[in-house]
Amino acid sequence: MKKFKFTLEAPLRVKRILEKQQMAELAAVNARLAEFRRELERLRDALDFQRRTYLESVEAGRLTAPEMSLWSVGFKGMRERIALQNKKIETAEGERRRIQRKLVELMKERKILEKLRDNQMAEYRLAQKAEDAAVIDDFVSSKIHREGNAHG
């Protein structure tokens, strides 16, 4: 009997490759997300420092009206940077969810193909056993027939 060959081996290989690609994309997005979150934390810390410094200056009476106006502009700019960073995080999280859904779908498809391969392998083995049994039966029958002719 010929060697086992899974009829859907090529699609299975493609699914595995695509799954690896999606895993790599997921890792890249997770790394970007971690970096975006670190930057957000840094921005929040900077804003907190700005607020403390501003309040200390106000309490000490060291600020003039124009200086207070400059502080206000600085606070506004920092809040805008934080909002932009939050938007980057939100976008990256959406991308991560999309990749995760695609990865789950690819994994399901790969598992289905692997199950089909296992089923085909089981059928192949059954056919192989049946063929082996038939060859043995033919051999035994042939030998008995020859021995019967030799004695008769």
Q: Over the stretch 14-72, which tens digit does the pLDDT of each residue have? A: 999 999 999 999 999 999 999 999 999 999 999 999 999 999 999 999 899 999 999 99
Question: CA-CA distances (angstroms) from residue 22 to 8, 94, 115?
Answer: 21, 15, 22
Residue 45 located in a structural domain: yes
Question: What is this structure's pTM?
Answer: 0.74
Mapped onto helix, strand or coil, the DSSP state of residue 63 is: coil
Q: What is the pLDDT of residue 146?
A: 76
The DSSP H or E segment spanning 102 is: helix 65-151
Range of the domain at 83: 9-115
Element (H, E) at 110: helix 65-151
Within a domain: 83 = yes
In a domain, 39, yes or no: yes
Task: Tally the domains of the chain.
Answer: 1
In a domain, 108, yes or no: yes
Instruction: Note whether residue 124 is domain-resident.
Output: no
